[in-house]
Amino acid sequence: MKKPIETTFKELFQKEPLMVYSPGRINLIGEHTDYNEGFVMPAAIDKKMIVAIAANRTRQAKVYSVDFEEEFAFNLDSFGPKKGHWATYILGVTAQLQQAGYAVQGFDMVFGGDIPVGAGLSSSAAFEAAVGFALTTLFGFHIPKRSLIHYAQKAEHVFAGVQCGIMDQFASVMGKKGHVIRLDCRSMDFQHFPLNLPNHSILLIDTCVKHSLADSAYNKRRQECQEGVQAAKKNNPDIKSLRDMDLALLDTIQSDISLTVFNRCKYIIEENNRVVAASALLDQNNLKGFGEKMYASHEGLSKLYEVSCPELDFLVDFTKEQDYVLGSRMMGGGFGGCTINIVEKAKLKALKESIQPAFESRFGVTPKFYEVSLEDGTGLI
């Protein structure tokens, strides 16, 4: 993938580029906990965005997308968001660096990637991190990684208009080969845990559907979690988020909240506990126990948090019948997208060949399969 990007750059701009990459991410466990100041467990993967860049000694930025076969240029002294266009991520990151006092000069850029768009692998976060790292390296800004993560997130908020949490950008930048990250979304403290998979693979199964509920349901869940926090606050003023609550405290406010709100809060509290327990299981190299936590996570997402859908439930339930699948759950916001599965390498083909026709016959859609491995975060090529 590096070669066509480098070749295109040299053809267009007649010079040698600096080359950087930034990976997509998966989330092994800890879903919808990020905006509740909880724990998540993402990892950087071997699908990535690649950026080739060089200075051009002007006040212009000239960009070419290999994937879209499209050019875009803008003046560094006067630009704004271009909603719905791939360039908005470059514009957003550039604006964040300028606002932070970094003197971004004119540059030429070519980029491309192999992160499947729409599969929930955070191609936009990877792209933002790649652009930020490319600019800081090219111009010698020496921006700390944590600051780079925040600039990338803010670019998504301000320019792309998506109020994402910090997990995607964090995983993209801070990934470590063969490891997952346990990230505390309140303090931003993190720790790497080894995920040793000598005989197993991580397989993503993409439903190729996205139900229209997704965006409105996301905002509704945030609001329902907040209702639980407000009810708990009345007698416990120190409570700031669901992170501060346990199941015993939740039981004490059950009569003050609806069953729906109770279920939402119960799921988040249990999921935070699962992430902490899953970390300990990885330290013990207990993959079977880890897989059981994944199944429990899906059960909570489906029954208590209600962000699954028939397609996701079907894929997870199907794997329960196969003893060579250690764990499976929906990944991401829900109502479509992928399931993440830990599968015996020798049985990958068997799983694909049995699950595809069953899924097609039930839903009339052909699922897609992506095998991924855990890799290092953003860096130089």
Residues annotated as catalytic are: 168
Q: N- to C-terminal Cα distance for the chain? A: 12
**Backbone conformation region of residue 186, classed left if phi is above 0, alpha if psi is from -120 to 50, else beta:** alpha
What are phi and psi for residue 11, nearest 5 degrees? -65, -45
Q: Are 10 and 115 in contact (CB under 8 A)?
A: no
In sequence order, which ranges of the chain are alpha helices (DSSP H)?
A: 2-13, 87-99, 123-138, 145-155, 167-174, 214-233, 247-252, 259-283, 287-303, 310-320, 348-363
Long-range contacts of 182-190 (CB under 8 A, 24+ apart): 182/39, 182/40, 182/41, 182/275, 182/276, 182/279, 183/39, 183/40, 183/41, 183/42, 184/39, 185/33, 185/34, 185/35, 185/36, 185/37, 185/38, 185/39, 185/40, 186/37, 186/38, 186/241, 186/243, 188/146
Q: What is the DSSP letter of 374?
A: B
Return the amino acid letter for 4.
P
Q: How many CB atoms lie within 10 A of CB 170?
A: 29
For residue 255, give Cα distances in angstroms to 36, 235, 359: 22, 14, 41
Give the separation between CA 172 and CA 160, rounded to whole angstroms. 18
Q: How many CB atoms lie within 10 A of CB 26?
A: 26
